Structure 1
Amino acid sequence: MWNDQGGGGGFNTPGSQTPGGGEKKRTRAQNLVPVTISSVLECTEESLSIEGLEVGMVCLLGKVVSISNEATKSVYSLKDKTAQIDVIQWLDEGQDASKDDVCEDMHARVIGTVRNSGGKKHIMAFKISPVEAMSEIKGHTLEVEYARLKIKQLKDKENSSINVNSSSSLSNSLVSGNNFSSSGGGGSGGGSNFSNPKHSAVFKMIAGCMREEGISKEEIQNSLKGRVGPNDLNDALYFLSGEGHIYSTIDEDHFKTTDS
C-alpha cells in the first residue's frame, strides 16, 4: 500500500534501506496524527505536513454522507465541520462490503494515509470504525488542536538546538499518550492472521502490550527469540508499518497497533 503513487509527508525523515537491502530511499513517517479534513485538502505540498511535521497516517472523524460499493473497493464520502473528502477502502478477497459496520448517516473514525490522484486528494483507509459515542466527536476536535500545539512546541524546541529536518524524535512524539486511534471493534484494520506466521507473531506481541508507549523492538526480539530472527523482525515491522497495522510512538523502536 505504501508504494502506491501519491501520499506521503512533508517532514524529511532520513532515508533507509528496505529489509532486503538495496538502494537507500526516503521512508515515510510512521506517526499517527489527528487532523481535520480541511487540513488535508488545503495542504499545497505533495504530501501532508502539520506545522512542518511529516504526517505518516491521519485520524479523521466525520459523518458518512454516502457509500459506493464496488467489486474491489468501497468509497466513503466523509464530512466533518470543515470539509468533505473521499475515503477508499480496498476489499480483501471474498470480503462482503454489505456487511460493513459503518453505514450512511453514521459518524465514523478513519485511519489512513493521504493520497493524490489526478490532482484530487483522498484517504486510503487502513481502518474504518463506527463512532459509538457523540463525545468522541468533541474529543477528536480537542485532539486535533492539542496535536497542532504539541507539534509546534516540539518543533520550536528542536529548532533551538538542531535542524528540524534531521530529527527523528519529533516525528514520533505526537502519538504517545493520546487516543488517536479507535479502541472499538468493527471496520477494517488490525488483525493477527497474516499469511506470514512471523508477521502474525510480531503483531500479536505488539497488540498484547497495554503500555502507553507501546512495546520496544528489543522486548519483541527477546520474547520471540528462537522463533523470529533479527532480520525477520525487521521485515515484519517494515511490513506491519507499511500496511498501517502499527505505528511508532516515543521513538523509532517502540510500537503500538493502530486499533489499540
Structure 2
Amino acid sequence: MWNNQAGDGGFDQQGGFASPAGGGFSSPQSQGGEKRARPSNIIPCTIAQVLSANHDGDRFIADGFELHQVTIVGLVKSVSVAPTRIDYGLDDGTGPIIEVKQFVDNDESVPEEERVSPMMENTYVRVYGNLRSFQGKQNITAFKVLPITDMNELTSHILETIKVHLELTQPVSANQTNGHHETNATPAKNTYAGAMTDNSMSNVQQQVLTIIRGSASDEAGISIQNIMQQLRGLPEKAIRDSVEFLSGEGHIFSTIDDDHYRSTDTD
C-alpha cells in the first residue's frame, strides 16, 4: 500500500489516484477558467500531492483550489530536535520525503511535563499543518503531530484523499441534481474538504467548535473552563470529550497550555 507502484486502486508515482485516464491530483484542471476559493477546512493529501502543487507566491494550487491547511500521514524517517523546533522527514511512499517543521517551546525554563516530546523514527504519524516554501522547496509547518496507533488510519487516510480528489475533479452533473440525490447535491468546488465537515459531528461537538471559533481574536484561544461556563447545561465530561475529539481530528489545537484552544480555521 505504501509504495510507488501504480496498480488497480492505488496511487501513481505522482501521488495521484491511478486510473485508466491517468488523471492525477497533481495535474490541476479548472472548469471554464472559474476562480475557486481557498477551502477553510483541513485537506487530506499525499506527500506527492503537496510537493507537486503549483506554487504561486504564497499560494499553493492543486486542481484549481488553493491548499492552505493540510493533513498527511506517513512514516518518520528522520528526526532533528532543537530547543524551539522539531524537524521530521516524512515518507508515505508516494514521492520524495517531505520536511515537516514543528515549532515548540522546549526551553529549560519550561516544566518537563509541558515540553513536546519528539516522535520516534520508524513510527507512523499524522500531521496537521500549513504549506510553506523555503528556497524553492515545499514543506509543512505543523501545528499538530500525532502518533498513529491503529494502522487502519493509513487506509482511511488514502480513502479520504481519493474521495476529495474525485469530488474535486468530477463536478456534479445535471442528472445527479435531480431525483433522490437532489437534497445532497453539492458542486465539487464546495466539497473539497468533504472528508472533514461539521455534519459529521455531534451536537455537543458542533457547539464547542462554534465557541472556540468565536474566540479567534484572542491569540491564547479560549479555556475549557470558559467553554463550560458558556455551555452550563452540558456535562463537563461531554465537553472535555468533545475538545479531545476536535483536537484529534485537527479542527482545533492547544495554545499556551493543554487547557486553551484555538480553531485551525483561524489564519
Which TM class, normalised by the smaller chain length? 0.5 to 0.7
Give the conservation status (yes or no) of the 8 Å contact 1:63–1:108: yes
Distance in structure 2 (CA, Å) of the matches to 1:245 and 1:156: 38
Match of 2:223 among 200, 203, 227: 200
Against the structure 1 CA distance between its residues 196 and 136, is the aligned structure 2 distance closer, same or farther, given a 3 Å change threshold? Answer: closer
The letter of the residue matching 1:36 is T
Tell me what 2:61 maps to: 49
Deviation at 1:137, TM superposition (A): 1.1
Quote the RMSD (CA, aligned, Å).
Answer: 4.3
Against the structure 1 CA distance between its residues 196 and 62, is the aligned structure 2 distance closer, same or farther, given a 3 Å change threshold? Answer: closer
Tell me what 1:139 maps to: 156
Distance in structure 2 (CA, Å) of the matches to 1:115 and 1:109: 18
Gaps of 5+ in 1: 1-9, 14-27, 161-166, 180-189, 215-236, 249-254, 256-260
Structure 1 runs, 4 residues or longer, greater than 6 Å off: 195-198, 202-207
Tell me, what secondary structure is at the counterpart of 2:94? coil
Distance in structure 2 (CA, Å) of the matches to 1:146 and 1:170: 10
Tell me what 1:89 maps to: 102
Deviation at 1:100, TM superposition (A): 1.7
The letter of the residue matching 1:90 is F
* Deviation string, structure 1 residues 127-186 (Cα, Å, up to 9, x no partner): 0011101111111111110111122345878xx9xxxxxx9945665522579xxxxxxx
Gaps of 5+ in 2: 1-29, 178-187, 202-211, 232-237, 247-251, 256-260
Distance in structure 2 (CA, Å) of the matches to 1:247 and 1:197: 13
Map 1:1-260 → 2, pairs under 5 A: 12-13=36-37, 29-46=39-56, 47-83=59-95, 84-92=97-105, 94=107, 100=117, 102-153=119-170, 169-170=190-191, 173-176=194-197, 199-200=222-223, 208=239, 245-247=262-264
Distance in structure 2 (CA, Å) of the matches to 1:132 and 1:200: 28
Tell me, what secondary structure is at the counterpart of 2:86? strand
Distance in structure 1 (CA, Å) of the matches to 2:44 and 2:149: 18
* Deviation string, structure 1 residues 91-115 (Cα, Å, up to 9, x no partner): 1254669862621110100000110
Against the structure 1 CA distance between its residues 145 and 172, is the aligned structure 2 distance closer, same or farther, given a 3 Å change threshold? Answer: closer
Distance in structure 2 (CA, Å) of the matches to 1:156 and 1:115: 35
Distance in structure 1 (CA, Å) of the matches to 2:102 and 2:166: 30
Distance in structure 1 (CA, Å) of the matches to 2:158 and 2:152: 10
Distance in structure 2 (CA, Å) of the matches to 1:126 and 1:62: 16
TM norm structure 1: 0.54
Distance in structure 2 (CA, Å) of the matches to 1:126 and 1:12: 26
Against the structure 1 CA distance between its residues 156 and 74, is the aligned structure 2 distance closer, same or farther, given a 3 Å change threshold? Answer: farther
Give the conservation status (yes or no) of the 8 Å contact 2:102–2:142: yes
The letter of the residue matching 1:55 is L
The letter of the residue matching 1:85 is I
Q: State the identity %.
A: 26
Give the conservation status (yes or no) of the 8 Å contact 1:89–1:125: yes
| Bigger-Rg structure (1/2) | 2
Higher relative contact order (CA 8 A, sep 6+): 1
